[in-house]
Amino acid sequence: EPEVTQTPSHQVTQMGQEVILRCVPISNHLYFYWYRQILGQKVEFLVSFYNNEISEKSEIFDDQFSVERPDGSNFTLKIRSTKLEDSAMYFCASRETGQVYKNIQYFGAGTRLSVL
Amino acid sequence: GENVEQHPSTLSVQEGDSAVIKCTYSDSASNYFPWYKQELGKRPQLIIDIRSNVGEKKDQRIAVTLNKTAKHFSLHITETQPEDSAVYFCAASKAAGNKLTFGGGTRVLVKP
């Protein structure tokens, strides 16, 4: 069964450094999402992306965050200058396009980001 | 915006017993309610979903009920097995493709 793949599984970085989290969505999917889960808290929506542009973003997704689809397979989340509070599990998800009411979101296994 | 509350946060059941997890949502415009199961170290996987035009949906040992008037929906697992042990998340959305708002999760432990 096709899966959403995320790399790395764990990323450790120093505060103020830039990080790029990578995702390979399912190959025929065209809608992409990033969510995050701070330890002990709910999974929160960050951003959705379709047709090479952001469809929707939350208030969490400020100027420190950006997303990109650099080629036909990867979908990346960049945090420009990491803060301690960015430490969380980051989930990528993807879905097919077409009939919105019939397409579900498939999740990757997540990247745990630790900011020291 | 939408807010989803999930209870209980932990649930311990004896193998063979039933487990029930309840969620409430705040936005009456939400019309899609998926449930995800996440085993330790693995990806969240959709186990069942329901849309607001349906009151109940069943898939083998798993069922979901939806009460639109009260804005709550529940997951029912019957004849629980040890492999049902996982964290279960409910979510709400205005459509299957739109952003999901998640509940806080329920850690289910099925004791053999």
Q: Does A88 touch chain B (CB under 8 A)?
A: no
Unique residue bearing structure tokens 């999740």: A107
Q: Which two tokens stand for residue A59?
A: 């208030």
CB A33 within 8 A of CB A93: yes
CB contact under 8 A, B49 and A48: no
pLDDT the model gives residue A1:
77
pLDDT the model gives residue B47:
96
Alpha-carbon separation of residue B34 from A71, B25, B47, B82, B111 (angstroms): 30, 12, 8, 22, 26
The β-bridge partners of B52 are none
A65-68, strands of its sheet edge to edge: A5-7, A19-24, A75-79, A65-68
CA distance A61 to B11: 33
**pLDDT exceeds 90 at position B52:** no
pLDDT the model gives residue A87:
97
CA distance A10 to A112: 5
* CA angle in degrees (0–180, nearest 5) for A47-A108-A3: 125
Q: Which of A26-30, A59-63, B5-9, B27-31 has the lowest mean pLDDT?
A: A26-30
Percent of chain A with pLDDT over 90: 77
CB contact under 8 A, A100 and B97: yes
pLDDT the model gives residue A51:
87
Q: Which residue from B33, B67, B62, B63 is spatially nearest to B50, judged by alpha carbons?
A: B33
Q: Which residues of B touch A40 (CB under 8 A)?
A: none
Q: Which residue from B96, B98, B76, B70 is spatially nearest to B88, judged by alpha carbons?
A: B76
**A30: closest chain B residue by CA:** B97
Unique residue bearing structure tokens 């915006």: B1
**pLDDT exceeds 60 at position B21:** yes
Q: Which of B58-67, B75-84, B94-103 has the lowest mean pLDDT?
A: B94-103
Encoded amino acid at A9, one letter: S
Full pLDDT tens readout for chain A, 116 residues? 789 999 999 999 999 999 999 999 998 888 999 999 998 889 999 999 998 899 999 999 999 999 999 887 899 999 999 999 999 999 999 998 766 556 789 999 999 999 99
Candidates B98, B101, B106, B107: best to mutate against A (most CBs of A within 10 A) is B98
The β-bridge partners of B21 are B75
Q: Which residue from B37, B45, B41 is spatially nearest to B87, judged by alpha carbons?
A: B37
